[in-house]
Structures are given as structure tokens and as C-alpha cells.
Structure 1
């Protein structure tokens, strides 16, 4: 790859960036995205505060008729009332006929329920019956039933004459520690490299965002190239600019525009989060901090952020180059979806390897497959940024991944330099991969 092959890429970059930023489609989509980001945190805060208020409100059940069919005479559920959500409930032994009480609840006493406690083959059964319609919902009944079941366990043990100290002994936790030692009897400490559930979803979230941005940027690049092919703009550019300079300039121009969108989205999200936490949270706690892994901010330093941006940018250049080739291999916009089939397949391979590695990380920690996904240029852009931010990747491994990405880009650019001019001037059926390889060998 000679230096003069890149001459003029800055002009192509500037032209592409200006055209993209000025287009109506970009401006409209950018405005919609920013508005969505700004209102996202208030919506999340409103929904979560509503859930919290529901969880702390009084239970809609007002009375429980206890239908005791067991040999336990002293059944008292007063301890259940210690729960703030259940303190409004009264327990009353059922003296009337079951059908009479059931009919009364169905017609006029819909805030009451029947609790039938029976004993079948040395096993106890608790059955809850509510009105088919009324204020008592399944969630209210589930909350109450959980507390009653827990209290009934204590009532059973008391009936058997088991006191609290004996119960504590029965329920005492038994811990077993297994140590691995070497031949000298020295303990071999094995580091736990697995990730928590919240860390998994954090990695998955970054992976999903990168995949969406990657597809969006790459599709725009392919679409731009096809459009310029159909209007003959590329043919005029080829008279003064080398093919490699054109593809490099277009890729960097489109990626810059997309990354500008992404950075703006992140800034808008943090502004929304900051304003929302200041207005609606009495403790001043950030809305995002409720869902992010607790140790994320320990690894959120300038070095890690820079390496994350480098990994994403270099990885997206790889995919953008592949999308550029896909766009150049077709002649009409109508064929764009067909032309991007192979690119989409490659993109999904990288994303699915990253998803698999995230699952393995949560299940068993770092192993050979996870390290492969960190280093493989097609998957590292998806999995490595999230893993780096939660502290599961060493700096040498990150540098090795970036080096492999750069090597892949150099090889791709060499391939592009050989076939791009032929592709740009081609008008006709879509050029397949075998034909691309054949062209690269003959040029």
C-alpha cells in the first residue's frame, strides 16, 4: 500500500462528512434520537417510582376468613400484621358455612378472602379463594400468601413443641470449604473470573449498541457508494483520486458522522439522567446508577475510555470497509439488501461470538473461547469494550486485540486497492466473493 494511493482521502473525507451532516435524513434522525435520549430518563424514573409506590402501598385484602380443618387448634397469624403492607388486614375464624361465606365474598364482600388449611396424608395444604372480580388482584394475594405460608411454618413447629433455639439449630447454615493444594500441601488459590448478572447485561447492552451503530453506519456507507455509482460521481472522482483514497475517505467520513450521533446520544442521556436525578430523587441517586454494575465506576478512567473508543472505532472501520466492498459490488439501490447479505452474516457472526463469550464469562469465567473472542477482529469490537470497563481484561490483551484489528484493516485496504476501481466501474449483476478474489489476483 503506497503512500500516493491515499492522496486525496482528506478531500473525500471532508466532502462525505459535509454531505452527510447536511442531509435531511441525517438531521431528522439526529433530532429524533436526541429528543428520545432526553426524555428517556424521566420516563424510566416515572415508571420505577410508580412500581415502588405500588410495592409500598397497603394490600387490598381487608379480611381473611380462616377455615381450619387441621388438628392444630391455636392458629394465629397476628405476626403477619407486622408487615407495613399487611397491617390493615384482620383474621377471623370462619364460623358460617363455606358456601355462604364464599357467596357473600363474591357479591358484597369482595375485599375479603377465604384461607382453607387442611391436612392430607401428613401434609398441610393452604388454599386461598378470592372473588372473581373486585379490588383484590393476583399480586395482592401472592404477597399475602407468601407471608402466611412463612408464618404457618412457625405455627407447625410450635405445635410440635419445637422452640426458637431448636429451630435456629435446625435451620443453621452448614458451610463446606474445599481447598486445592499442591504436592507440598500449600493451598492453590484459583481466581474467580466470572461476572455477575448485572455485569453480563452491561456487556450485552454495549454489544447491542455497537452492533446497531455498526449496522447503521455500514448500511449508510454502502448506500452512499451505490448512489454515487448510479450518478457517475465516482467515475469523476477516479480521474483525480486513487480508489483506496476514495474508500478510506468515505468510510472515515461516514463513521465520523455516525460517531458524532452516538457521542451526542450519550451526552444527552447523561444530561437527562443528571436532571432527572436532581428533580425526582430525594436521595440524589442517579437513575442509571440503579441499573449499572456497582464496580463500573472503579474501572471508568480516562485510559479505559480511550481504549474502548479505539477498539470500537478500529473495529467499525473493518466492518465499514466490508460494507463499502458490498456496496461497490452492486449497481442499483434496489439490490442493496441482497448485496449486504454476506456483510450482515459476517456482522452477526462477530456479534454472536461476543454474546456467547459473555454467557461463558458469567457461567465459568475467562477461558480459551473467551480469550479468542477478545482477540478475534470480528468479535473483539463487540465484547472487549464492555469487558474492559468491568475490569475483566488486562492491558496487554487489549493492545494485542487492537494490533490484530489494525493488521486486518491493512490487509483489507490492500485488497480494496486492487479491486475497488473495477467494482466502481462495474454495472450489471452483483459480483460474488469468488469473482472478487479472482479480480484481486488479476489486477
Structure 2
């Protein structure tokens, strides 16, 4: 065994003590309350932002009452006067513009602000529909956009009818034309290549999970390092060392801080889900789940108990790995003022892993799975960031996930061997900050 059992005896007591003190601390309570408040109001705020222009009356009817058609298309002769069938638009009256244009514009601005003008013009290659509305009043930009979509469809149908095109001819004109390039081997047989690239929405889903894991990592690790430095400069460590080995102190603190931060984020996610459910029932007119609107279609098709277990295992192992690095970095400093400097190497390592994950996600979107993506999924610094999201979008096999876990475990064993050699010296050190070269020397001399 690379660690004697006596060296870790008492870690549970350190874990319990540190967790209770952390949960009771003012900084944790304040940050926890802030996270809960932000999570609770997130969905209602998002709903208001997304629907800020949808100022319609309660029955869903568009506030536009009349549309003046200023038809300048030569072959139309001003005969385009549509009748819309949409439930929220069928009340609108359409009238050809026969009065002076400026007179009608002024009347809409001053009195008739529920009316709009549609100017239909023809260029060499396109038809253009311009809408004029009052600068103030009930008619909002979103109302005009709704009308414009319906009018565009009606004008296209009118144009096709005027040209005398039959439905069969229209189907032929609008038929999709697709091309494909097929590679052949030496014998002339087609080589089938699978498209393993991901969509833009899938990329952002992977990026979102990566970002959350990075934030949890940074928060937990910085708290671990700060706690160890703080204890070294106080009487707490001296008290603990009378009954507990230094390595047990680090293990207890790492697990306690990770538990506190994970509890914080789990509570935040639960509040977001509750907020989403309430917002959907209260504010959504369609009843559609707000979160599902922004997630890629079929994102949960690859979710099964085995994948969930593998993802959780990778994330937890990765967090313990990074937290151990942070604890080691914190132990190299003796004063709070040196903590940020000690964390430089840890932060750099953390960012390397995150950036490799981001780069691999970009490669997945651009060209699909390749050697670099496989490396990022297996490399212990990047796999905790990339693998969970990639697995949810179906780009990681079970075998590759297990291999990634094996590599993480190997790296953790090597790291713990190193920590077991140097940590007792570090925790008792009370002088200038110990650098990387000195750490290596200490490990060789122990």
C-alpha cells in the first residue's frame, strides 16, 4: 500500500468538523443564499426577457386592427388584399391605400395607432415588404413580426396563383436538390464514412456542462487551499496534529469542502428546476417546458443508468484529483497572503484541462470524432470536463468511459503516492513558500 492506514486514521473526524464549520461560516451562508435567490428568480426573469415584446391582450389577439396595403408591384395592379386565417390575425382588416401616403402616416402616428402600412415593392431579384407603424401605442415590434410572417406566406401564395403555377408544378420547383461525395477504395467499392460531428446546440450543451464543472472545481479547490493555509497560520492545526496525522487532515478537508460545494450546486439546480416548473405553469401560454426549449432535441436519448453512473464517477474522481492538487498547493504556503501565489500552478493545470475540453468540443462540432477528441476524453486533466457532456450527446462509448476512469484512477494513485511522501513535511513547514522543485526534492528525500 502506498499509504499506511495509520496515516489516514481520523479523517472522518476532520471531515465532520470541517464540514460543520464550513456550513456554519458566514461566507458559505451568504453565497448559498445568493445562489438560491438567483436560481429561484432565473426562470421568471428569463421568461420576461424572452417575452418582453409580446405585449398582446389577454385573449392572445394581435392589437393591429387595420392594414393599409400600398401595392407597387406592376403585375399585381394593387389587387393583393389577403384574408388571414390565423386565430390571432383573422380580425385584421386589409384596405388598399388610396389616400395620400403622408396623410395616412400622420394619421396612424397621431390617432390611428392600431393601424399599419405595408409597402410592397419589386426589385430585379426580390419582392420587399416594408411595415410602417406608430412610434407609440399598443402595437409592438413583435406584433408586426407576427403579421409580417403571415403576410409573406399570403403574398407568396398570391404570387404563385397570379403566375398560374399548379400545385404539381410548384412541388417540382420546390423539390430539394441534394449532392453527396462518395469515396471509393481500390476495387471501386464505396467507402461509407459516418458523420460523427455534433450540432451547434449540442456543442453549447457540452460547453455548459464543462463550465459548471469548472466553476465547482474552482470554488471547491480555492476553499480547500485557503482553509489549509488558514489552519496552518492558526492554533487549529496544532490542535488537530495532536491526534490526527497530516495526511488525514488533508483528506478530511478535501472531502468536506467538496461536499459543501456540491451541496450548494445541487441545491441551486433543484431550485432552478422548481422555478422552471412553476414558471412553465404560471407564465407559459403554450405550456411548453422553458428549459426544454433551449436544450438540443433528443439530448436525453442517450441517458441511461449506466451512463449516469459513469459520468458521476468521472466527475467525482476528477474533482478529488483537482482538489488534492489544490490541497497540495495550499500546503506549500504558510500565510494567507501567499495562497493566491501557491494556487497559480493549480489554476494553470485546471485551465489546461478545461481548454483541452473546449477545444475537443469545437473539433467535435467541426469535423467529428478524431484522435484529438479521443485524447481529450482519456486525458485525466480534461476528461472530467468533456466526458459528461459528450456522453449525453452520444459521442462516447461505454468502453471509452471505463478506460477514462481507469486512467483517472492511475493518475490519482500516482498523485496520492506523491502527496503521502511530502504532505507531512509541508503541513509542518512554517516559512517561505515551497516551490515545485523543492517539492520534488522533498519527495526524493523522504
| TM-score for both structures, normalised by structure 2 | 0.85
Deviation (angstroms), 1:32: 5.1
Q: 1:17 aligns with which of 13, 16, 19?
A: 19
Give me the whole-angstrom Cα distance separating, in 2, the residues matched to 1:215 and 1:237. Answer: 26
Give me the whole-angstrom Cα distance separating, in 2, the residues matched to 1:45 and 1:107. Answer: 33
Deviation (angstroms), 1:203: 2.1
Tell me the residue number matched to 2:144. Answer: 141
- 316-325 or 93-102: bigger deviation: 93-102
Give me the whole-angstrom Cα distance separating, in 2, the residues matched to 1:140 and 1:395. Answer: 49
Q: 1:132 aligns with which of 130, 135, 138?
A: 135
Q: 1:426 aligns with which of 425, 429, 435?
A: 429
Q: Which runs of 5+ in 1 are unaligned?
A: none
- The answer to whether the 8 A contact 1:77-1:91 is kept is no
Q: Deviations over 1:119-167 (max 9, x none)?
A: 4557644433223333333333333333333433444444444444333
Tell me the residue number matched to 2:93. Answer: 90
1:67 aligns with 2:55: no
1:328-367 to structure 2, matched below 5 A, reads: 328-367=331-370
Q: 1:244 aligns with which of 242, 247, 256?
A: 247
- The answer to whether the 8 A contact 1:64-1:92 is kept is yes
SS at match of 2:411: helix
Give me the whole-angstrom Cα distance separating, in 2, the residues matched to 1:175 and 1:291. Answer: 29
Deviation (angstroms), 1:70: 3.4
Give me the whole-angstrom Cα distance separating, in 2, the residues matched to 1:206 and 1:360. Answer: 17
Deviation (angstroms), 1:57: 3.0
Task: Describe the shift of the 1:80–1:227 C-alpha distance in structure 2 as closer, same or farther (beyond 3 A).
Answer: farther
- 269-278 or 382-391: bigger deviation: 269-278
Tell me the residue number matched to 1:116. Answer: 119
1:299 aligns with 2:302: yes
Deviation (angstroms), 1:384: 0.7
Give me the whole-angstrom Cα distance separating, in 1, the residues matched to 2:61 and 2:279. Answer: 28
Give me the whole-angstrom Cα distance separating, in 2, the residues matched to 1:122 and 1:405. Answer: 60
- 282-291 or 93-102: bigger deviation: 282-291
Give me the whole-angstrom Cα distance separating, in 2, the residues matched to 1:69 and 1:288. Answer: 45
Q: Deviations over 1:19-51 (max 9, x none)?
A: 333434434544554565566566667777888
Tell me the residue number matched to 1:2. Answer: 3
- The answer to whether the 8 A contact 1:75-1:155 is kept is no
SS at match of 2:84: helix
- 322-331 or 266-275: bigger deviation: 266-275
The number of aligned residues is 443
Tell me the residue number matched to 2:195. Answer: 192
Task: Describe the shift of the 1:214–1:99 C-alpha distance in structure 2 as closer, same or farther (beyond 3 A).
Answer: same
Give me the whole-angstrom Cα distance separating, in 1, the residues matched to 2:436 and 2:418. Answer: 12
Task: Describe the shift of the 1:274–1:65 C-alpha distance in structure 2 as closer, same or farther (beyond 3 A).
Answer: closer
Give me the whole-angstrom Cα distance separating, in 2, the residues matched to 1:52 and 1:411. Answer: 58
Deviation (angstroms), 1:311: 0.8
- The answer to whether the 8 A contact 1:244-1:413 is kept is no
Give me the whole-angstrom Cα distance separating, in 2, the residues matched to 1:329 and 1:195. Answer: 43
1:359-378 to structure 2, matched below 5 A, reads: 359-378=362-381
Indicate the RMSD between aligned Cα atoms, in angstroms: 3.4
Task: Describe the shift of the 1:31–1:100 C-alpha distance in structure 2 as closer, same or farther (beyond 3 A).
Answer: closer
Q: 2:106 aligns with which of 103, 107, 111?
A: 103
SS at match of 1:116: strand
Q: Which runs of 5+ in 2 are unaligned?
A: none
Tell me the residue number matched to 2:209. Answer: 206
Task: Describe the shift of the 1:83–1:270 C-alpha distance in structure 2 as closer, same or farther (beyond 3 A).
Answer: closer
Task: Describe the shift of the 1:431–1:387 C-alpha distance in structure 2 as closer, same or farther (beyond 3 A).
Answer: same
SS at match of 1:81: coil
SS at match of 1:340: helix
1:21-36 to structure 2, matched below 5 A, reads: 21-30=23-32, 33-34=35-36
Q: Deviations over 1:144-199 (max 9, x none)?
A: 33333343344444444444433332222223354444445554333332233443
Task: Describe the shift of the 1:225–1:190 C-alpha distance in structure 2 as closer, same or farther (beyond 3 A).
Answer: same
SS at match of 2:381: helix
Deviation (angstroms), 1:407: 1.7
1:216 aligns with 2:219: yes
1:31-70 to structure 2, matched below 5 A, reads: 33-34=35-36, 37=39, 57-70=60-73
- 27-36 or 221-230: bigger deviation: 27-36
SS at match of 2:131: strand
Q: Deviations over 1:76-102 (max 9, x none)?
A: 444451233322322222222222222
Deviation (angstroms), 1:218: 0.7
Give me the whole-angstrom Cα distance separating, in 1, the residues matched to 2:445 and 2:265. Answer: 41
Give me the whole-angstrom Cα distance separating, in 1, the residues matched to 2:444 and 2:56. Answer: 68
